[in-house]
Amino acid sequence: MLRYTIKRFLFIIPMLLIVILLVFSLINLVPGNPGRTILGLSATEEQVEKINEEIGYNRPFFTKLFDYLRGVFTRFDFGKSYISGTPVIDTILANFRYTLRLTILCTLVTTFLGVTFGVIAAVKQYSAFDNIVRTAAIVLASVPSFWLSMIGMLVFALYLGLLPSSGVESWKSYILPVGINSLLSSSGLMRMTRNIMLETIRQDYVRTARAKGCTERSVNWKHAFPNASLPIIASIGLIFGSMLGGTVILESVFSMPGLGTVAMSAVNTKDMPLVMGCTIFFAVIFSIIVVLIDLISAWVDPRVRAKFAKS
């Protein structure tokens, strides 16, 4: 198991190299002049060329790529922002805590709603509750997140005045973005949990547990659910990863600080070092999440753990 864990974490390195190569190549193909971005329109051509020379913009592509890779892997240096002049890593770390907090809250609420309602819908198949859950899941899956966010702001912030529509001044600021995002994200998890539980509760060992006199609650949550939890855990991990990158929309709509807002601002201002840094940072975090999903799956399921022990 230890060998497998080490191998999985080492796999992040080549994947990160591929991401850096692709993003670095695409950004270098984007037309733009960093010297002009830094100095503004009032600067002379001589001043612009001097700045471009200082930051190495005019150097050959592979030279810039090698220097960037060396800075990332030896000093964790992603360069400096064209606009603010501050190190990119400092900007990322200063804003990532807001994005991480929002993502964790959304994932927890999504997991609670999706798993709880999915299991109950499977246990009460074809009941009124099951029909309501399935209909709601289909409707929520088809609703655009930005539209529902605007409706939520209009109703709860403007008309009722119960919740703030922007910022992160208090815990109330998280209710609207977390609630709306969790409702939409839980629809897929509800359907998947219901389908998996329907397959699991029809297994022989579940019928045996009922025949032995176990309560229905014990049968569903202690026998069926643990055996159905493996794909659910994997799905929750991927939901967390997708939410981490998907907070761009939430942070933009609700005017919240975070890495998504920073990335969008960097794209709009063509702040290439900051765009590169945010992209690579998200790629690293997502890669770590994928590895952790594999390890948690091995810990939960003895069959997977036995298989990995041979790796």
CATH of the domain at 270: 1.10.3720.10
In the predicted model, is pLDDT for residue 109 greater than 90?
yes
pLDDT of residue 29: 77
pTM score of the predicted model: 0.79
Is 1 inside a domain boundary? no
pLDDT of residue 117: 92
In the predicted model, is pLDDT for residue 1 greater than 70?
no
What are the pLDDT digits (tens) for 159-204?
888 888 777 777 888 888 888 888 888 888 999 999 998 888 888 8
Mean pLDDT of the chain, nearest integer:
82
Is 5 inside a domain boundary? no
Q: Which domain holds residue 253?
A: 88-309
pLDDT of residue 204: 82
In the predicted model, is pLDDT for residue 129 greater than 60?
yes
Report the C-alpha gap between 159 and 97 in whole angstroms: 31
Report the C-alpha gap between 114 and 214 in whole angstroms: 25
Q: What is the domain count for the chain? A: 1
Radius of gyration of the chain (CA): 24
Tokens of 163: 């919740």
- Average pLDDT estimate for 81-88: 83
pLDDT of residue 68: 83
Confidence of residue 108 (pLDDT cuts 50, 70, 90): very high
Report the C-alpha gap between 260 and 249 in whole angstroms: 8
In the predicted model, is pLDDT for residue 310 greater than 60?
no
In the predicted model, is pLDDT for residue 294 greater than 80?
no
Confidence of residue 110 (pLDDT cuts 50, 70, 90): very high
Buried b (16+ CB within 10 A) or exposed e, 154-190: eebbeeeeebbbeebeeeebbbbbbbbbbbbbbbbbb
Is 42 inside a domain boundary? no
Is 151 inside a domain boundary? yes
Is 219 inside a domain boundary? yes
Is 242 inside a domain boundary? yes
Largest CA distance in the chain: 86
Closest by alpha carbon to 257, among 69, 141, 92, 110? 92
